[in-house]
């Protein structure tokens, strides 16, 4: 049934409102997934930044190519939104096989993995996202498949069950994880190469943004790219998301040009400040600096002061504040640094012990 116009526009508003809340989250939401496919680099030489990973990967791929063999299994480790899925697709493209995609949470039984593995052809790339969330029996099956290119398919149940060995063609597993520390050592050891993805520099994000704008059919002015890049938390996904908001502003309230005015105004509307902090981040810092003299203050107290759940403060706001050196977690509580005071335009307290330098 076709929905009526008012209902449709309400649902759009709700979707946008939910999205705004997560403007600076590194994790992808539905809108990102829809927009990202068109922006992913398809070849290694189009992939911006991560020079060390690119260099290592191109060596691994070229060597495999020279030997006419599939490359070693590759583990891509790093925070969300830095390009792990993009690299997995690039690897499949460079190897020339087809890409099969699954994820740790999707493979709950060894049988699920056996079904995927039995359809793998020579030179294929099997991409397992969130590989740290694989169920244990599937993980054990994967060890064997990665090392010996073999799986034992169990037929039947109980004492009459028999394992039928199935030989697999040479293929490559590409695993991605945001939590490499959770990966059991035997699984980690079966990857011939681990790529550690790092946050992007502002200059690299400017290149990502300029490229994305071009693919979206727009021209991003360099000053606007600089502004967006400096607030994107070192993460291409966030940079691309901010670019879409700047485009919205330019189209609806500006001249259509992606210039400095549009960038500044859009970032202002969405309350993203010059260091990439949003409203909640600033509220946490303000509470710490203004109400509690810089801390140390317990997480629950900070959360009550900003009207949020402790878990939200801990998982949404704190990681970036700590990474930026604006806040420190100590055994006695949260402490604002001198940088936090100066970011808020406040004078740091002078009494020793109040402030974590």
Ligand X SMILES: Nc1ncnc2c1ncn2[C@@H]1O[C@H](COP(=O)(O)OP(=O)(O)OP(=O)(O)O)[C@@H](O)[C@H]1O
Q: Enumerate binding residues for ligand X (CB under 6 A).
A: 27-28, 36, 39-41, 47-49, 80-86, 176, 178, 208, 236-237, 240
For residue 126, the SS3 value is: strand
Nearest distance, CB of residue 110 and ligand X, angstroms: 24
The answer to whether 253 is annotated as binding is no
Nearest distance, CB of residue 5 and ligand X, angstroms: 32
Residue least distant from ligand X (Cβ): 83
The active-site residue out of 32, 85, 233, 282 is 85
In 3D, which of 104, 108, 101 has the Cα closest to residue 184?
104
**83: partner contacted, choices ligand X, Mg ion, none (Cβ within 5-8 A by kind):** ligand X
How far is residue 114's CA from residue 190's CA, in Å, rounded to a whole number? 18
Say whether 129 is catalytic. Answer: yes
**116: partner contacted, choices Mg ion, ligand X, none (Cβ within 5-8 A by kind):** none
For residue 327, what are its two tokens?
Answer: 């806040």
Nearest distance, CB of residue 202 and ligand X, angstroms: 14
The answer to whether 315 is annotated as binding is no
Of 13 and 52, which has the nearer Cβ to ligand X?
Answer: 52
How far is residue 87's CA from residue 73's CA, in Å, rounded to a whole number? 13
Say whether 124 is catalytic. Answer: no
The answer to whether 334 is annotated as binding is yes
Residues contributing to the site for Mg ion (CB under 5 A): 84-85
**30: partner contacted, choices ligand X, Mg ion, none (Cβ within 5-8 A by kind):** none
Of 36 and 206, which has the nearer Cβ to ligand X?
Answer: 36
> Which residues are CB-contacts of 240 (< 8 A; sequence separation ≥ 6)?
32, 35, 36, 39, 208, 209, 212
The active-site residue out of 84, 231, 233, 241 is 84
How far is residue 143's CA from residue 164's CA, in Å, rounded to a whole number? 17
**39: partner contacted, choices Mg ion, ligand X, none (Cβ within 5-8 A by kind):** ligand X
Nearest distance, CB of residue 48 and ligand X, angstroms: 4
How far is residue 194's CA from residue 176's CA, in Å, rounded to a whole number? 10
Alpha helices in the chain (DSSP H): 5-21, 30-36, 51-66, 84-95, 110-117, 136-148, 185-189, 202-215, 222-230, 236-252, 260-269, 279-286, 299-306, 310-312, 318-323, 338-343
**295: partner contacted, choices ligand X, Mg ion, none (Cβ within 5-8 A by kind):** none
The active-site residue out of 129, 259, 278, 281 is 129
DSSP code at position 14: H
Catalytic residues: 84-85, 129, 178, 237
């Amino acid at each position: 049934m076709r929905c009526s116009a008012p209902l449709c526009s309400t649902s759009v508003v709700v979707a946008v409102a939910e999205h705004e809340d997560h403007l600076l989250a590194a994790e992808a939401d539905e809108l990102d997934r829809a927009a990202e496919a068109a922006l992913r680099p398809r070849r290694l030489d189009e992939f911006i930044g991560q020079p060390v990973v690119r260099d290592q990967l191109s060596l691994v791929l070229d060597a495999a190519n020279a030997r006419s063999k599939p490359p070693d299994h590759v583990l891509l480790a790093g925070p969300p939104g830095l390009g792990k899925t993009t690299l997995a697709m690039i690897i499949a493209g460079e190897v020339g096989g087809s890409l099969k995609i699954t994820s740790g949470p999707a493979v709950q039984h060894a049988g699920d993995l056996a079904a995927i593995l039995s359809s793998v052809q020579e030179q294929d790339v099997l991409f397992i996202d969130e590989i740290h969330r694989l169920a244990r029996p599937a993980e054990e099956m994967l060890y064997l498949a990665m090392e010996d290119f073999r799986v034992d398919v169990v037929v039947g149940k109980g004492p009459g069950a028999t394992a039928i060995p199935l030989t697999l063609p040479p293929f490559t597993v590409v695993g991605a994880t945001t939590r490499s520390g959770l990966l059991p050592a035997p699984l980690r050891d079966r990857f011939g190469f681990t790529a550690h993805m790092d946050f992007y520099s502002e200059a690299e994000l400017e290149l990502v943004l300029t490229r994305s704008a071009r693919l979206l059919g727009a021209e991003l002015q360099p000053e606007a790219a600089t502004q967006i890049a400096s607030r994107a938390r070192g993460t291409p996904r966030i940079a691309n998301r901010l670019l879409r908001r700047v485009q919205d502003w330019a189209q609806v309230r500006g001249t259509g040009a992606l210039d400095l005015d549009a960038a500044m105004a859009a970032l202002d509307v969405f309350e993203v400040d010059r260091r990439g902090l949003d409203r909640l981040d600033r509220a946490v810092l303000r509470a710490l600096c203004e109400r509690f003299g810089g801390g140390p203050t317990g997480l629950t107290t900070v959360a009550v002061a900003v009207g949020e759940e402790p878990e939200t403060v801990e998982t949404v706001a704190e990681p970036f504040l700590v990474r930026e050196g604006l806040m420190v977690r100590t055994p006695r509580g949260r402490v604002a640094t001198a940088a936090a005071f100066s970011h808020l335009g406040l004078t740091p307290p002078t009494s020793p012990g109040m402030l974590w330098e």
